């Protein structure tokens, strides 16, 4: 893979603050790679180091077989789509897009600009001023301005953050289409987990300057590496449990006096203290008074909240050991959702469970991860 | 962010930086030198023509006053020059501080509504009004002040109107009074008040005022607790830019007043250019500076701002 | 009438502002009227009943007035160019770089603005006398650059502070090296600030009397001419020139501003 972008042991300190901590990362050529994390996790700093706008304190950045760690930004075959677009207000759209071409003395500038405007579906916009364009249009121009240089890596710094939801969806599809069309490596920084999953073929979840987990969106979602990832990418119900034994390919677990089963293949740890996890949409609820089907993991509880969200209903139930558990139920059949106060049994296939390591000292409560069970907070 | 970039570029990297190409090192050193190179010509100018003369003036203020330009001066560290100057000219110093202080307050009262109107009420006329504030500069300070002399003169329109008012004595006059001098000072330095005020009021987000209104603040309350505090840097800058030149001015006192209204500037001017008493002129200059410094510092402390420029 | 009071209630700040503006323009109106008015005696500087266009037709009739104007314009142009270049460089250093001694540089720039003109002028005179520099055109230029410099630095610095640093990063990202970034992005965006600073220098220099009075020797600038004439009766042509320069500057600034606004539309 001659053109992979490889970061090795990269650390960035600002004064005493460590923004990026010994980060190593490989972005395969031609991939759509998302760096996902909350604000302040170091993802933008990482991007800026790849762009050359910051210099790493320690570590190297290589592009193919070239070391670009200390190269000035204008010497790297890398272009950026900035968060606020950073279009030059004193130049028209045509000149904005032509900026990089002119600096490198390329020919056929006008033709290339027109072609790019075609690609981002703004043909004939050359003579407009950035201030005359809507946010979505500015975003496309910023993309065209970077792509026209045919960079080996395109960096996108929260490029859709300023757009409203509908436009965002539309641009996500568009970006994906363009990436497939031009085949350039895209390194996309975002805090929006849905956006990352929608668009990227590889997602890296970042936290406190480090990468927690990296992989295909489905792999990370289905089998997260730790409680942070399990709740940053989607939500999870996590129960403090101990491994009691093994039966065939399954682990036997005890949690709060009840027995559970989970496939050993979906366990990060096969002995001692663990978290038993399950995604809310994998869980079903029995009708009141009915028993749960055999061969399932079950938890009894009382509904405390019912939230009807159109495509699904999101339930919150309180377990006998006073933990909140969330359950998403697709609204496939007609009928009223269950009312709060109803006693129900929540059940799920053991194969949908996953098991995470629970080192001593991390407590039995899951409050720090379940503070927002309905996913209301951004 | 730039702060961080700069700091990072300047800071040594603990933990051992990776080997860096030679070209990059040279580039980094050049970038560290850049600010000094940029500052050099202007800085030299200020050093040579401002700092050096100031130091020299301090020396001159302590010369033995019995010398002259022809016979030369001897440095006797005659601090008595300062006492002599205060003894002889304390009314002028007081007058300078007083007239300039009053003029500054009036400038603030007049300038604030004007700056506010330009920043938030003028709409598309904003540029035109702003130009109007600066434009009087081009009519020449002296010519404008002479025009005031004509406006305020005994047979001018203002005095004529005022004398027609009952209870105003018939020999009422404006010219050659402290009022005329203050009026001239206000007029001449008003733009120095308006421009910084405008700059800080313009940055004020109109939505803040709406938010204050939304939170049940009456216009007066909004002004007191939102507008005024946020425009404080402009108020401070404007006050200083008005007070300082006004305190040192002597043209208004000369043209609109009489020797009874002369300010310390008049004395410095004549000591330097007419009486050729350099030590005393220098001592007076420093006394003026000291007066200004005392007033400015106490004011800045009271205003609670340290951002001046 | 009712409407008028309603307007006033809604716009009293604007009304007060306009009144203050009228106060600023009152003497200019008088200057203009005086330029059209024949005095009753040489020393009279009041309006008489006699109106004339003579002074506008022959503005340089009085000896010395044309030369003084030429000297003033020359000094203002040279001082403005020097102050604008030096001040812009300093503003860049102070707004765009962190370096040791930045606070000192700030104070050094602020102090001349905080020094009364008499003190600036007199201390410079003392320096020139000590160094035996003959007073004249160039000593006045030196003095004018000195007091314009600080105003340029402050004005350009403010413009630079309002500039999004990401624009420069974007330029660098798009293959512009440091010089090209400056030339193609920073400079065009700062230019309105530089122009405003230059305009300010021009007006400050053209207008200055006090500092010039100390350092001009036998060179007579326009304000110096007016000062000298004030003792023996001011020729009314002075008012013609005052009005004309005012109108010229006003139109010039307005045209530049309006063109700039149409071109940029940044907001």
Residues of B numbered 12-51 whose beta carbons fall under 8 angstroms of chain A's beta carbons: which are they? 13-18, 20-21, 24, 27
Cβ of A145 and C166 within 8 Å?
no
∠ CA(C89), CA(C93), CA(C99), 5° rounding?
A: 155
Nearest CB to C246 within list B35, B135, B247: B135
Shortest CA distance to B228 belongs to which of B256, B255, B204, B193? B204
**Is the pLDDT reported for residue C6 higher than 90?**
no
Return the domain boundaries, chain A. 5-221, 235-287+295-357
Contact A357, A274 (CB under 8 A): yes
pLDDT bucket at C5, cuts 50 / 70 / 90 = confident
Say what the pLDDT of residue C200 is: 85
- List of chain A residues whose C-beta atoms are within 8 Å of the C-beta of residue B32: none
Say what the pLDDT of residue C80 is: 96
Given the DSSP bridges, would you call strands A210-215 and A78-81 parallel, antiparallel or unpaired? unpaired
Nearest CB to C46 within list B51, B143, B156: B156
Name the burial class of residue C87, with classes exposed (0-12), middle (13-18) and buried (19+) by CB atoms within 10 angstroms of its CB: buried
- List of chain C residues whose C-beta atoms are within 8 Å of the C-beta of residue B146: 45, 226, 230, 234
> How many alpha carbons lie under 13 Å from residue B220 in its C-beta half-sphere?
0
Structure tokens at C249: 């500057």
Say what the pLDDT of residue C152 is: 93
Walk across the sheet containing A284-285 and list its strands: A284-285, A343-348, A297-308, A312-318, A324-330
- d(CA C209, CA A156) in angstroms, rounded, equals 58
Say what the pLDDT of residue B16 is: 37
Say what the pLDDT of residue C163 is: 85
Structure tokens at C179: 């010089």
Compute the average pLDDT of residues C159-163.
84
Say what the pLDDT of residue B202 is: 82
Mapping DSSP to helix (H, G, I), strand (E, B) and coil, where does residue A201 land? coil
Return the domain boundaries, chain B. 25-52, 80-305
- d(CA A145, CA A103) in angstroms, rounded, equals 13
Say what the pLDDT of residue B298 is: 81
Structure tokens at A1: 């893979």
What are the backbone angles phi and psi of residue B137, rounded to the nearest 5°?
-50, -30
- List of chain C residues whose C-beta atoms are within 8 Å of the C-beta of residue B250: 118, 210
Mapping DSSP to helix (H, G, I), strand (E, B) and coil, where does residue A240 land? strand
Mean pLDDT of chain B, nearest integer: 80
Cβ of B60 and C126 within 8 Å?
yes
Strand partners, A247: A250
- d(CA B230, CA A52) in angstroms, rounded, equals 38
Other C-beta atoms closer than 10 Å to the C-beta of C150 total 24
Structure tokens at A312: 């699904």
Given the DSSP bridges, would you call strands A354-357 and A273-278 parallel, antiparallel or unpaired? antiparallel
Walk across the sheet containing A5-14 and list its strands: A17-27, A5-14, A58-63, A66-67
Q: Is the ipTM of this complex over 0.90?
A: no
Contact C98, A14 (CB under 8 A): no
Strand partners, C155: none
**Is the pLDDT reported for residue B270 higher than 60?**
yes
Contact C200, C147 (CB under 8 A): no
Contact of B153 with chain C, judged by CB distance below 8 Å, is answered with yes
* Residue range A235-287+295-357 in CATH 3.30.1300.10: no
Cβ of C20 and B41 within 8 Å?
no
Mapping DSSP to helix (H, G, I), strand (E, B) and coil, where does residue C39 land? coil
Count CB pairs under 8 A between chains A and C: 72
Query: How much is the CA Rg of chain B, to the nearest whole Å?
Result: 26
Helix axes C2-35, B141-152, angle to 10 degrees: 110
**Is the pLDDT reported for residue B1 higher than 60?**
no
Shortest CA distance to C264 belongs to which of A94, A83, A88, A134? A88
Structure tokens at C247: 């109108």
**Architecture of the CATH domain A5-221:** 3-Layer(aba) Sandwich (3.40)
Compute the average pLDDT of residues B266-273.
88
Report CA dihedral (C30, C36, C39, C43) to the nearest 10 degrees: 50
**Is the pLDDT reported for residue B290 higher than 80?**
yes
Q: What is the CATH number of domain B80-305?
A: 1.10.3720.10
Per CATH, the homologous superfamily of domain C63-234 is MetI-like (1.10.3720.10)
Is residue A13 within a helix (H) or strand (E), and if so which, with residue range? strand A5-14
- List of chain A residues whose C-beta atoms are within 8 Å of the C-beta of residue C182: none
Nearest CB to B148 within list C27, C142, C207: C27
Mapping DSSP to helix (H, G, I), strand (E, B) and coil, where does residue A278 land? strand
- d(CA B181, CA B183) in angstroms, rounded, equals 5
Distance (Å) from the alpha carbon of B22 to chain A's nearest alpha carbon? 10
Query: How much is the CA Rg of chain C, to the nearest whole Å?
Result: 23
Distances (CA, A) of A11 to A17, A45, A235: 11, 10, 30
Is residue B57 within a helix (H) or strand (E), and if so which, with residue range? helix B52-60
The DSSP 8-state label assigned to residue B176 in this structure reads: T
- d(CA B247, CA B94) in angstroms, rounded, equals 10
Q: Which pLDDT tens digit goes with each residue over C61-86?
A: 788 888 999 999 999 999 999 999 99
Nearest CB to B285 within list C119, C127, C130: C119
Say what the pLDDT of residue A46 is: 93
Structure tokens at A322: 């006073």
Residue written as token pair 């720039």: C109
> Among A105-109, B11-15, B46-50, B107-111, where is mean pLDDT lowest?
B11-15
> Among A111-125, A285-299, B197-211, C145-159, where is mean pLDDT lowest?
B197-211
Structure tokens at A59: 């570590």
pLDDT bucket at B158, cuts 50 / 70 / 90 = confident
Q: Which pLDDT tens digit goes with each residue over C84-116?
A: 999 999 998 888 777 888 888 888 888 888 888
- List of chain B residues whose C-beta atoms are within 8 Å of the C-beta of residue A60: 18
Greater model confidence, A271 or B107: B107
What are the backbone angles phi and psi of residue C53, rounded to the nearest 5°?
-105, 0
Residues of B numbered 44-83 whose beta carbons fall under 8 angstroms of chain A's beta carbons: which are they? none
Cβ of A131 and C166 within 8 Å?
no
Cβ of A57 and B17 within 8 Å?
yes
- d(CA A68, CA B80) in angstroms, rounded, equals 69
Query: How much is the CA Rg of chain A, to the nearest whole Å?
Result: 24
Q: How would you label A148-179 residue by residue, b for 16+ Cβ within 10 Å and e otherwise?
A: bbebbbbbbbbbbeebeeebbeebbebbbebb
Which stretches in chain A have pLDDT values below 70? 1-2, 334, 361-378
Cβ of C99 and B32 within 8 Å?
yes
Structure tokens at A78: 């890398």
Q: Which pLDDT tens digit goes with each residue over B78-96?
A: 788 888 888 888 999 999 9
Contact B130, B118 (CB under 8 A): yes
Shortest CA distance to B178 belongs to which of B262, B239, B242? B262
Q: Which pLDDT tens digit goes with each residue over C200-211?
A: 898 889 889 989
∠ CA(C72), CA(C74), CA(C75), 5° rounding?
A: 65
Say what the pLDDT of residue A247 is: 87
Strand partners, A299: A346
- Residue by residue, DSSP assigns A19-87 as EEEEEEEEE-TT-EEEEE--TTSSHHHHHHHHHTSS--SEEEEEETTEE-TT--GGGSSEEEE-TT---
Contact of C46 with chain A, judged by CB distance below 8 Å, is answered with no
- d(CA A20, CA C69) in angstroms, rounded, equals 64
Helix axes C237-264, C65-96, angle to 10 degrees: 30
DSSP-H helix ranges across chain C? 2-35, 54-57, 65-96, 102-114, 117-130, 137-161, 165-173, 178-181, 187-207, 210-215, 222-232, 237-264
- Please tell me the total number of residues recorded for chain A in this structure: 378
Q: Which pLDDT tens digit goes with each residue over C7-53?
A: 776 678 888 888 998 988 888 888 888 888 887 776 666 777 778 88
Shortest CA distance to A148 belongs to which of A183, A179, A116? A116
Say what the pLDDT of residue C261 is: 61
Contact A105, A44 (CB under 8 A): no
Contact of C190 with chain A, judged by CB distance below 8 Å, is answered with no
Say what the pLDDT of residue C101 is: 82
pTM of the model: 0.76
- List of chain B residues whose C-beta atoms are within 8 Å of the C-beta of residue C17: 113-118, 121, 129
- d(CA A370, CA A318) in angstroms, rounded, equals 12
């Amino acid at each position: 893979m001659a053109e992979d972008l490889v970061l090795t042991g990269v650390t960035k300190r600002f004064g005493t603050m460590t923004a990026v901590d010994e980060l190593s990362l490989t972005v395969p050529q031609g991939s759509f790679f998302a760096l996902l994390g909350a604000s302040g996790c170091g993802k933008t700093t990482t991007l800026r180091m790849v762009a050359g706008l910051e210099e790493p304190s320690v570590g190297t950045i290589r592009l193919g077989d070239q070391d670009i760690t200390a190269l000035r930004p204008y010497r790297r075959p890398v272009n950026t789509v900035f968060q606020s677009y950073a279009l030059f207000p004193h130049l028209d759209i045509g000149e904005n897009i032509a900026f990089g071409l002119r600096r490198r003395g390329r020919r056929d500038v006008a033709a290339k600009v027109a072609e790019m405007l075609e690609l981002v579906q703004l043909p004939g916009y050359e003579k407009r001023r950035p201030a005359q364009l809507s946010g979505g249009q500015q975003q496309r121009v910023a993309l065209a301005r970077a792509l026209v240089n045919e960079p080996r890596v395109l960096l996108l710094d929260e490029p859709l953050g300023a757009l409203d939801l509908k436009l965002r969806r539309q641009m996500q599809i568009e970006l994906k289409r363009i990436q497939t069309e031009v085949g350039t490596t895209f390194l996309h920084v975002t805090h929006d987990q849905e956006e990352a999953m929608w668009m990227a073929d590889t997602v890296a979840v970042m936290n406190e300057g480090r990468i927690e987990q990296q992989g295909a969106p489905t792999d990370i979602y289905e089998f997260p590496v730790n409680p942070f990832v399990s709740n940053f990418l989607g939500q999870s119900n996590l129960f403090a449990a101990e491994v009691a034994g093994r039966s065939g390919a399954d682990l036997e677990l005890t949690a709060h006096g009840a027995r559970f089963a989970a496939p050993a293949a979906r366990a990060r740890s096969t002995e001692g203290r663990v978290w038993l996890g399950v995604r809310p949409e994998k869980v079903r609820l029995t009708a009141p008074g009915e028993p749960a089907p055999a061969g399932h993991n079950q938890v009894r509880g009382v509904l405390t909240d019912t939230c009807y969200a159109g495509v699904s209903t999101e339930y919150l139930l309180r377990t006998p050991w006073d933990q909140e558990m969330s359950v998403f139920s697709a609204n496939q059949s007609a009928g009223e959702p269950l009312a709060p106060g109803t006693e129900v049994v929540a059940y799920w296939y053991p194969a949908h469970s996953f098991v995470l390591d629970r080192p001593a000292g991390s407590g039995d409560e899951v409050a720090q991860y379940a503070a927002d069970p309905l996913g209301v907070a951004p | 962010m730039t702060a961080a970039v700069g700091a990072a570029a300047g800071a040594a990297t603990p933990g051992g930086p990776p080997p860096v190409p030679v070209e990059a090192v040279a580039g980094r050193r050049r970038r560290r030198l850049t600010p000094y190179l940029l500052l050099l010509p202007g800085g030299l100018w200020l050093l040579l023509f401002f700092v050096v003369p100031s130091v020299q003036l301090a020396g001159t203020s302590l010369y033995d006053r019995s010398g002259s330009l022809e016979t030369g001066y001897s440095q006797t560290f005659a601090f008595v020059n300062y006492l002599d100057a205060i003894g002889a000219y304390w009314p002028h110093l007081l007058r300078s501080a007083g007239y300039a202080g009053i003029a500054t307050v009036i400038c603030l009262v007049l300038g604030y509504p004007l700056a506010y109107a330009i920043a938030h009420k003028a709409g598309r006329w904003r540029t035109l009004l702003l130009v109007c504030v600066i434009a009087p500069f081009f009519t020449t300070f002296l010519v404008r002040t002479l025009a005031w002399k004509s406006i305020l003169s005994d047979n001018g329109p203002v005095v004529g109107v005022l004398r027609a008012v009952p209870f105003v004595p018939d020999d009422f006059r404006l010219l050659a009074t402290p009022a005329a001098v203050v009026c001239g000072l206000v007029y001449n330095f008003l733009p120095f008040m308006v421009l910084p005020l405008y700059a800080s009021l313009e940055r004020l987000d109109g939505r803040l005022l709406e938010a204050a209104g939304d939170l049940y603040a009456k216009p007066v309350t909004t002004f007191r607790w939102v507008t005024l505090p946020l425009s404080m840097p402009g108020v401070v800058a404007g006050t200083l830019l008005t007070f300082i030149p006004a305190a040192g001015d002597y043209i208004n006192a000369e043209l609109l007043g009489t020797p009874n209204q002369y300010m310390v500037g008049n004395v410095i001017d004549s000591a330097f250019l007419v009486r050729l008493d350099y030590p005393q002129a220098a001592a007076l200059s420093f006394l003026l500076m000291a007066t200004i410094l005392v007033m400015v510092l106490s004011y800045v402390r009271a205003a609670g701002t340290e951002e001046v420029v | 009438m009712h409407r008028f009071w309603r307007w006033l209630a809604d716009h009293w700040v604007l009304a007060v502002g306009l009144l203050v503006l009228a106060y600023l323009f009152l003497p200019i109106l008088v200057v203009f009227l005086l330029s059209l008015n024949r005095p009753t005696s040489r020393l009279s500087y009041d309006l008489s009943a006699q109106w004339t266009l003579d002074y506008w037709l022959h503005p340089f009739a009085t000896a010395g007035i044309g030369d003084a104007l030429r000297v003033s314009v020359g000094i203002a142009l040279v001082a403005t160019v020097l102050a604008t270049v030096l001040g812009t460089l300093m503003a860049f250093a102070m707004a765009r770089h962190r370096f040791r001694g930045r606070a000192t540089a700030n104070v050094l720039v602020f102090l001349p603005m905080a020094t009364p003109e008499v003190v600036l002028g007199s201390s410079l005179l003392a320096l020139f006398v000590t160094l035996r520099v003959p007073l004249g055109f160039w000593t006045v230029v030196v003095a004018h650059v000195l007091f314009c410099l600080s105003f340029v630095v402050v004005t350009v610095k403010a413009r630079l502070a309002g500039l999004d640093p990401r624009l420069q990063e974007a330029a660098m990202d798009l293959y512009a090296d440091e010089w090209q970034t400056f030339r193609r992005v920073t400079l065009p965006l700062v230019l309105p600030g530089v122009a405003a600073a230059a305009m300010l220098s021009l007006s400050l220099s053209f207008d200055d009397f006090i500092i010039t009075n100390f350092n001009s020797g036998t060179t007579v600038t326009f304000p110096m001419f007016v000062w000298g004439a004030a003792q023996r009766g001011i020729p009314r042509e002075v008012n013609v020139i005052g009005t004309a320069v005012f109108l010229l500057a006003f139109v010039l600034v307005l045209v530049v501003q309006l063109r700039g606004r149409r071109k940029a539309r940044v907001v």
